[in-house]
Homo-oligomer: A and B are copies of this chain.
């Protein structure tokens, strides 16, 4: 499905006080490493859209120059000019009248949207939502924290019908999220309301004819970035989304708070998630090498490097999600590097323990810890799928994951107890695997065969 993306406005309220970059057109204002308009395009791409018409107005040439033909973003962009942009965003939609003769998605370049909103609109289309309407407005009954409610466009609903829309409704049911599924007949409505010039006026015209519907996607992430305060609130909201429900205790309390702060800075560099994975691995490898030396100082430095690597290990995924750079291969590559880092760290600890106290105990505990640590990861996929089910049921089960293991390595190194650490890693990780097998055997419907 094609997308019509409005990027013609001046964004005066945002630029008025964004003193640091006063000359940037609004669509190019950066949020966590990406210009707003690129966020809108990449979110739509994740929802399956690959063809965009972008309506330009105020400082359009700079926006067009920045985006090019879209190949850099993996999409096809075509540009339309609305010289009348000052007369309202409805006139910007009208600029696409000649080129869009089939149903399309309509988006704002200054709205952050979760891709699922666009998928829902497309599904609504496939279910025939445009059979008895000319526009479907995505709405949220619970507007996000930090949103400028006064300036938001509200809708009043009767069932799934929009009966009134505007900024100043005496009472309302939900907020217009700035994402629409449109039939080409919306252009006629906008011609009728050309005097007013706003998109809202066109939708109101359709609502009066009982031709406007709402799609309730309450609770999905979205944000309207109109002011410098909204920009900062949007950044906070995006960062708050980064921790995962399956994060372990060390990750939750120590690693994520640091890694998200780090990520906030990293998104403004050109480092890719895969490069960050490699850097995190190299830190762990350096830590393992240090630990393999016989001195306590080296052991402690090695442990510290392991913990730093553990923190940084969160950043690759965070940057990937924030900059739409995630890939299936990237996730797998990161996981394989993590396993190598784990293997090197356990080996480094074993070598250190053997150098310090000799005998076969360090090696045997090393082999046991190594197999335990790697098999913990080997059994994690299956267990995590199970965990997610339990989390959905509101339970928060125990999880001995990489965050805990690396923290143990760090503590063990600082406390100069390499052999105890190996023993703990072995006992805990093998115990955890046995627990997983028993748990899955008991809870899988077919676990008794």
Contact = CB atoms under 8 A, between A and B. Distances in A.
Given A327-B447, A363-B350, A449-B274, A437 B370 contact: no
Contact of A440 (B332, B370, B377, B446): B332
B374 A378 contact: yes
A447 B331 CA distance: 10
Interface string A303-335: 000000000000000000000010111101100
B273 A382 contact: no
B340 A375 contact: yes
Interface in A319-357: 325, 327-330, 332-333, 336, 339-340, 343, 346-347, 350-351, 354
Contact of A332 (B325, B333, B339, B382): B382
Most buried by B among A347, A351, A371, A437: A371
Nearest to A441: B329
Contacts of A34: none
A375 B375 contact: no
A360 interface: yes
Given A363-B363, A367-B366, A449-B325, A379 B440 contact: no
Interface in A403-449: 433, 437, 440-441, 444, 446-447, 449
A273 B350 contact: no
A449 B377 contact: no
B360 A354 contact: yes
Contact of A374 (B366, B371, B449): B371
Nearest to A371: B343
B350 A367 contact: yes
A291 to B, nearest CB: 13
A272 interface: yes
Interface of A: 272-274, 325, 327-330, 332-333, 336, 339-340, 343, 346-347, 350-351, 354, 360, 363-364, 366-368, 370-371, 374-375, 377-379, 382, 433, 437, 440-441, 444, 446-447, 449
Given A343-B367, A347-B364, A350-B363, 15 more contacts: A325-B449, A328-B444, A329-B441, A329-B444, A329-B447, A329-B449, A332-B440, A336-B375, A336-B379, A350-B367, A354-B363, A366-B367, A371-B374, A377-B378, A378-B378
29 contacts: A272-B449, A273-B449, A274-B449, A325-B449, A327-B444, A328-B446, A329-B441, A329-B447, A329-B449, A330-B446, A332-B382, A333-B441, A336-B378, A336-B379, A336-B433, A336-B437, A339-B371, A339-B375, A340-B371, A347-B368, A347-B371, A350-B367, A363-B363, A363-B366, A366-B367, A367-B367, A367-B370, A374-B375, A378-B378
